[in-house]
Amino acid sequence: MTATPAVADTQQKVPVAEGYGGAVATVDLDASKAAIAVLRRGGNAVDAAVAAGAVLGVTEPFSAGLTGGGFMLYYDARQRKVFTIDGRETAPQAMTSSTFEGIPFAEGVTSGLSAGIPGTTATWDLALHRFGTLSLRQALQPAIDVASNGFTVDQTFHDQTAANADRFKDFTSTAKLYLPDGQPPAVGSTFRNPELAATYRELGRRGPGWLYGGQLGQEIVATVKQPPITPGSTRNVRPGLMELSDLRSYRALLREPTHISFKGLDVYGMAPPSSGGSTVGEALNILQALPKVGLHEYLESSRLAFADRNKYVGDLPNVPLKELLSDGFAKERACLIGDKALTSPVAPGNPDGSYEPCATPTGTPVADDNPQGPETTHLVVADRWGNVVAYNLTIESTGGNGIVVPGRGVLLNNELTDFTFGPASGDPNLPGPGKRPRSSMAPTIVFDHGKPVLAVGSPGGATIITTVLQILVNRYEFGMSLPDALAAPRASQRNAVQTEAEQAFIDKYGAELTTQHGQSFKLNPEIGAATGLEFLGHGRIQAAAEPTRRGGGSAMVVFPSR
């Protein structure tokens, strides 16, 4: 079976679609078309998700790619079970807890030092072997076609290239690809990446071992250790620690999902090293313990859940996940919420299994007040058999570490900057050999009496968690439709003194929340770029993407009518 896109090139992207036989929502029309084509030709949701993810590596290369990582949440309808794949990048064996200490964050980002051992290719391979029907070679074919034939440069692609131009120009391979004639590609022009097409083609032919220890892996290691710096550049580009042995030892992992019950629904998410499932789940449990829920309560539940996330969650043994997601702990934390905003940073709670009606937290507070951009991407797919995928994939910052592997057409990730730079004794997110940095990615699937009713996720760094949480609150507490829940203005409280909020949120709710509840806001121009699916019954599916954020997303269905 081949997986060549079969949807007319003239089709325009739309943010909402309803129909039958399967559905997809991504940030990009070409990726959605690839997924729908796979579904129409008999592939399942995993096949379609991998095909779409590979196309996003072409059309959204500053957010995703085969040298990145991510988390896939998969519901298998035949087994009636949720599986998760942890394809998070890992630190090289030579990395220690003090590797980043004293390094300015920006210098950490644009360096070989920030490049983690990639997990995306291993994720695709594991997903297809365990749950799919296509070979990796077949699943990559739509992306090969798009990379070879080109895609139309939109305003978002142009703007993201321009925002990275100062560092892209400092690497010969990156400048050659993304700054032709020294300028970002013009809006409306056709962008081709024949080197990436050839890389995908060879990867499909040789398999993932070509990256995890083979020739491609050797080239990645060489690029990390000796970045192709443009002659005359004054940028301080630190070499990385990656070795070929690190690539050989990498594995994508099957993990148990997180699970909570909320308003009679079952909510499944991603467990550590992602903090997405635990933090979304804890916040929902806190809201469920309150007598009423409004925007103030939404902000306070997130504030408290982030206090606990920052203290307890990382790639460590014995993360107290069961207690963080327990009703007893949620009630103890919910007791702290009153009419006025708590003073941040709030101290973490004590998830020890012994809960009082209203315990005063005594731990050392840890805030998350770092600026969060639009990095990462998320897609959702469902097929005719009822299988569902929610998939976050990323190369971390928009543009990754800024370094294209020479001759391969792909940017490297800067995922290791998700570690705490230190010094921070006892921080669960300090770097270490083979360790996976804590993530905020939160692919989520919601069930009602054992049947999937909604799947959702978003990019946006740590604001991923609050975006997913707010969409769920909008949908199930405030009664919005899924498209309205996605489109509504957003705010992100992460145990910081001020809540980041979009201008539309500040304009609509800021004065009341400040006057009545003592909330404080600062502007974040754009929070998240979500995609979701809702299952409407009798085989009908609604796919929803952003109407305007990140240029708007693309929702498609296999058949608009039966």
Q: Coil, helix or strand for 143?
A: helix
Query: Which DSSP category does 509 fall into?
Result: I
Cβ contact 246:90 at 8 Å: yes
Distance, CA of 134 to CA of 203 (rounded, Å): 15
Pick the catalytic residue: 376, 377, 398, 467? 376
Cβ contact 394:68 at 8 Å: yes
| Per-residue exposure over 164-203, b if at least 16 CB sit within 10 Å of its own CB, e if not | bbebbbbbbbbbbbbbeeeebbeeeeebbbebbbbbbbbb
Concerning whether 377 is annotated as a catalytic residue, the answer is no
What DSSP element (H or E) covers 101?
Answer: none
pLDDT in tens, the chain (562 residues): 333 333 333 478 999 999 999 999 999 999 999 999 999 999 999 999 999 999 999 999 999 999 999 999 999 999 999 999 999 999 999 999 999 999 999 999 999 999 999 999 999 999 999 999 999 999 999 999 999 999 999 999 999 999 999 999 999 999 999 999 999 999 999 999 999 999 999 999 999 999 999 999 999 999 999 999 999 999 999 999 999 999 999 999 999 999 999 999 999 999 999 999 999 999 999 999 999 999 999 999 999 999 999 999 999 999 999 999 999 999 999 999 999 999 999 999 999 999 988 877 766 776 554 555 567 899 999 999 999 999 999 999 999 999 999 999 999 999 999 999 877 677 899 999 999 999 999 999 999 999 999 999 999 999 999 999 999 999 999 999 999 999 999 999 999 999 999 999 999 999 999 999 999 999 999 999 999 999 999 999 999 999 999 999 999 999 998 8
**Whole-model pTM?**
0.95
Structure tokens belonging to residue 395: 């190369």
Q: What are the residue ranges of helices labelled H in 90-209? A: 105-109, 120-131, 136-149, 155-168, 172-178, 194-206
Q: Coil, helix or strand for 553?
A: coil
Structure tokens belonging to residue 27: 């940030």
Give the pLDDT confidence score for residue 4 in this predicted structure: 33
Give the pLDDT confidence score for residue 1 in this predicted structure: 31
What DSSP element (H or E) covers 557?
Answer: strand 554-559
C-alpha dihedral (243, 129, 143, 558), degrees to nearest 10 = -150
Query: Which DSSP category does 274 fall into?
Result: B
Cβ contact 35:5 at 8 Å: no
Domains and CATH numbers, the chain: 21-253+371-493+527-559 (3.60.20.40)
C-alpha dihedral (547, 553, 559, 562), degrees to nearest 10 = -30
Structure tokens belonging to residue 173: 């391979």
Nearest C-alpha neighbor of 307 from the set 360, 366, 352: 366
* N-to-C CA span, the chain: 24
HEC letters along 459-475: CCCCHHHHHHHHHHHHH
Tokens 């997809």 correspond to 24
Distance, CA of 309 to CA of 287 (rounded, Å): 16
Distance, CA of 255 to CA of 84 (rounded, Å): 5
Structure tokens belonging to residue 554: 């693309």
Cβ contact 38:389 at 8 Å: no
280 CA to centre of own chain: 14
Distance, CA of 57 to CA of 259 (rounded, Å): 30
Query: Which DSSP category does 487 fall into?
Result: H
Cβ contact 94:241 at 8 Å: yes
Distance, CA of 464 to CA of 530 (rounded, Å): 9
**Cβ count within 10 A of residue 25:** 35
What DSSP element (H or E) covers 484?
Answer: helix 482-487
Structure tokens belonging to residue 451: 């049947």
Distance, CA of 150 to CA of 163 (rounded, Å): 22
Cβ contact 94:45 at 8 Å: no
CA distances from 313 to 111, 119, 187, 561 (A): 26, 20, 42, 45
